[in-house]
Copies of this chain bind each other. A is one copy, B any other.
Amino acid sequence: MIRVTRPMSIGAIVAGSLALGAAQALAQDPLADMTKDPNQWVMTGRTYDLQRFSPLTQITTANVKNLHAAWSFSTGTLRGHEGNPLVVGNVMYVHTSFPNKVYALDLSKPGAPQIWQYTPDQDPATIPVACCDVVNRGLAYHPSGKLYIELLQGDLLALDAKTGKKVFQVKHAGDADFKTGSTMTNAPIVIKNIVITGISGGEFGVRGHVTAFDAMDGHELWRGYSTGPDKDVGITANTLVSPYPSAQGKDLGVTTWQGDEWQHGGGTTWGWYSYDPKLNLFYYGSGNPGTWNPDQRPGDNKWSMSIWARNPETGEVKWVYQMTPHDAWDYDGVNEMVLTDQMIGGKEVHTLSHFDRNGFGYTLDRTNGKVLVANPYGATNWAKSVDLTTGRPVEDASKRTTAKGNTEGICPAAIGFKDQQPSAYSPQTKLFYVPTNNICMDYEGVEVKYSAGQPYVGAIVRMFPGPGGNRGRFIAWDPREGKVVWEIKENLASYGGALATAGGVVFYGTMEGWLKAVDAKTGTLLWKFKTPSGIIGNPMTYVGPDGRQYVAVLSGIGGWAGIGVAAGIGADDPTAGLGALGAFGDAGSFTTQGGVLTVFALDKAM
């Protein structure tokens, strides 16, 4: 592991780290060891691969009908609750929406009383800077007994997991200042002694990046930008040459932009991060190019809308693949990268699966970024397919937007056929379980001038339900064939995450507040419970000190899809909430605000 006393350029770090060699990459990783215990849930996706799969088997397709609420806990904040708690030993750690409170709950006592709570001191002026509700996607844990949370106002906060006392709070130095439009909302990832964070603010012309901090004292280790010259991006001599011609060349993060537009070029990094310890690479996506108006930024706008593989110690880019060149739809590429191994073309491949906002479900070779499968997982119409030789979408020109007029009937909408809601994967069924939106849109670019800290949207979007009128689907997806195996129609977007379990049960939430359990093989509904508020969080499962398997989920409507309820916006203007109100116009009636954790278990008698 490399530690530097002040931020260094990625080039300098790489030079220093080469001497350490591959042995370093496979060094002991106590956190990875902890994930081998199925009773705990020590990182956001349970394991580094983000499969959100639990090996626990107490709750089965046969007995899940006997699942009951065991206890519940109010988070004390009302806005949208994305993410999920962690369970380390006998303690559950719960995060909240702004002001990003953190609670430690004692699972060894009835009703899980608080051990401690911590409320960060944040500037409320941050609130209107968050484009799509003041959500937070959760905590990261370090085996030294530290918890990390990214604060909306742009700080990385470390707490002592035992006492709840602050260990450090560091500014996301430089441009991560909410006054310039930067916020932080995603769950950090801990890899060995490094904490890697993302940035939000794609609607404010923020220049996206990932930044690594020392887990012990919070000093910045490196930063890798999404746009700009290769040295800023972390593209080095060790970066693999892309198999796709349009991705070959020097400083594409500058040359695929007009003028200095790359400096406020978006490519923010607020999704879920995965990590492959053997390859020593972490994976994430970058978001939309700055301003949604495509006419203001001719070119591919690299490396917005891309899948990234980086070395966590140096920040060096191993490979990068742009899914949506010259975006004209706000198809942020931030959705999670789930790591599995699949038999494809007769051989086992270390794959990465990704359900993009652009409507395509991708399976890549995660060693080199080569696209193996890319098929629509919904009624996508802006592109017919992805050309596997060029890596580029085969567009329908009539659906490419412009500031010259309103482009109608585009599917998916800006919110994508999937947004933040993370999918799950079951190695038993070899299927992905994907909560999706079924939302389409009209989109019209609008000339906008960049002004630091001011919205830099540049488009008027009206979203509406997609084909069939149902606004969401929960699907099972074969990543080898790139096809939907079964689907459940949902009236509202399926905007919370999925959980797959070895009991053959898959869990997901709905915006109305139902937590549902379905058969992983068939999608048959086995059980449901109405939680207090709409669910946009991720169910998780653990075994308590009493030896029983529990399932926990945060309810608390909000996020982009739920912004109408969360921010109290009326449905009169369908373009309000960046278009969300058009799709979820009855926001006031389907649920109510409120952050509550509900924890379920089978009856003791069962």
Contacts and interface: CB of A to CB of B under 8 A. Distances in A.
A486 interface: no
Given A103-B592, A114-B590, A117-B592, A555 B74 contact: yes
Given A69-B69, A113-B590, A512-B111, A532 B78 contact: no
Interface in A154-212: none
B589 A71 contact: no
A574 to B, nearest CB: 21
Contact of A529 (B71, B77, B592): B71
Interface stretch (A218-226, A339-347, A474-482, A593-601): A593-601
Given A111-B514, A113-B512, A513-B111, A592 B72 contact: no
A530 interface: yes
A598 B77 CA distance: 18
Nearest to A534: B74
B112 A74 contact: no
Contacts of A603: 603
A595 to B, nearest CB: 7
A111 B590 contact: no
B75 A592 contact: yes
Nearest to A94: B592
Contact of A589 (B112, B117, B589): B117
Q: How large is the interface on A (under 10, 10 to 19, 20 to 34, 35 or more residues)?
A: 35 or more
A529 B114 CA distance: 16
Contacts of A74: 532-533, 555-556, 591-594, 596
A530 B112 contact: yes
State the number of copies, please.
2
Given A68-B69, A555-B74, A530 B592 contact: no
Interface centre among A71, A72, A512 (most CB of B within 10 A): A72
Contacts of A514: 111
A532 B590 contact: no
A585 B531 CA distance: 31
A279 B529 CA distance: 47
Contact of A594 (B71, B588, B595): B595
A309 B113 CA distance: 45
A591 B112 CA distance: 11
A30 interface: no
A450 interface: no
Contact of A72 (B72, B73, B112, B512): B72
26 contacts: A69-B69, A69-B72, A69-B529, A71-B530, A72-B530, A72-B531, A72-B532, A72-B598, A74-B533, A74-B555, A74-B596, A75-B594, A78-B78, A103-B592, A110-B528, A111-B514, A112-B530, A113-B590, A114-B590, A114-B591, A114-B592, A116-B589, A117-B592, A532-B597, A594-B595, A603-B603
Given A71-B530, A78-B78, A111-B513, 9 more contacts: A68-B68, A69-B69, A74-B594, A103-B592, A111-B512, A111-B514, A112-B530, A532-B532, A594-B595
Q: Give the 3 A-B CB pairs with smallest separation, nearest first.
A: A74-B594, A111-B530, A74-B532
